[in-house]
Structure 1
């Protein structure tokens, strides 16, 4: 297993519910877990995330109003977003944004992606996208 240099650990309200959602809906693979700690390490297309249910919610302010991770989102590239969109629709998950085509400039090149935002059961926001090419900026 290859460890990424930066892997977010998300505190969740229910490890079992989040594990099911991340695997069955988002399409992540479970790399390993410690059930005694309500902890799992997940991967999708090289993007890794850890999920942890903890009794110390006050440390992470998980019981505060508003979504968890307020003010941030996680961007994940997929070869195609079609399969994920189908799973989200089958699970009646509402997208947090419409599906859009965006072009982001990096120096003199614009990189295109087809993208959308969706939240997990704890309110963590994800931007999933597929790369559609590049053009002059």
Structure 2
């Protein structure tokens, strides 16, 4: 019984099933809002095992949502369950991992991986997503899709924030960026920061990524 269930689930494209159900429902009802409970009961039992793993109860919570919101949820569920390569980051997931919306994932990967030395732990290429790691540093890149934007994105992205990343040495990074002709936002400087009764002393520089996010690399050297 179990093997038959697994084979049947494997043949089901859960996002496609959910989208078709949603479109059918929205065409047949005159209401602009519906109870997502109906969508859950109709599709949950048909979702594949891997798809069902993606915190589905959170998406299928009771309450009314608009058709547009429902379609957006289905789009994100499809992106979350897209084919993936790689695996969990070495050492496990960090407690805090920023996710940056980018305009061109390939261009961003060339910068982050080729110039800054990050590696792709795993990715979902069709969804435009990559999880990067460089030692203990972890960061996510995702092609902008409207899911996380609280306002219109304008270059430079990430205004008002900078991401400080601790590395063993600044020299290899600066040399790599210089060879590529990538301009630093702020050159290498020695910085002293008061930390209680002590001082934290480091060398650091700042550089912007292709979308303008401000990155601060620091080293105790």
Q: Same fold (TM over 0.5)?
A: yes
TM-score (normalizing by structure 1): 0.89
Residues 51-130 of structure 1 aligned to structure 2 (within 5 Å):
51-56=141-146, 59=149, 61=151, 63-64=153-154, 66-130=155-219
| Greater strand share, structure number | 1
Shift of 1:62: 5.5
1:45 to 135, 139, 142: 135
Shift of 1:55: 3.2
Of structures 1 and 2, the one scoring higher in RCO (CA 8 A, sep 6+) is 1
Alignment partner, residue 12 of structure 1: 102
| Greater helix share, structure number | 2
Q: Distance in 2 between matches of 1:51 and 1:3?
A: 15
Instruction: Tell me the number of residue pairs that the alignment of Structure 1 and Structure 2 aligns.
Output: 131
Structure exhibiting the larger radius of gyration computed from Cα positions:
2
RMSD between aligned residues: 1.6
1:35 has 2:125 as partner: yes
1:21-77 deviation per Cα after TM superposition (whole angstroms, max 9, x unaligned):
11001111110000011100001121110000033289354542x410000000011
Q: Distance in 2 between matches of 1:62 and 1:91?
A: 30
Unaligned runs of at least 5 residues, structure 2: 1-88
Contact 1:57 1:63 in 2 (8 A): no
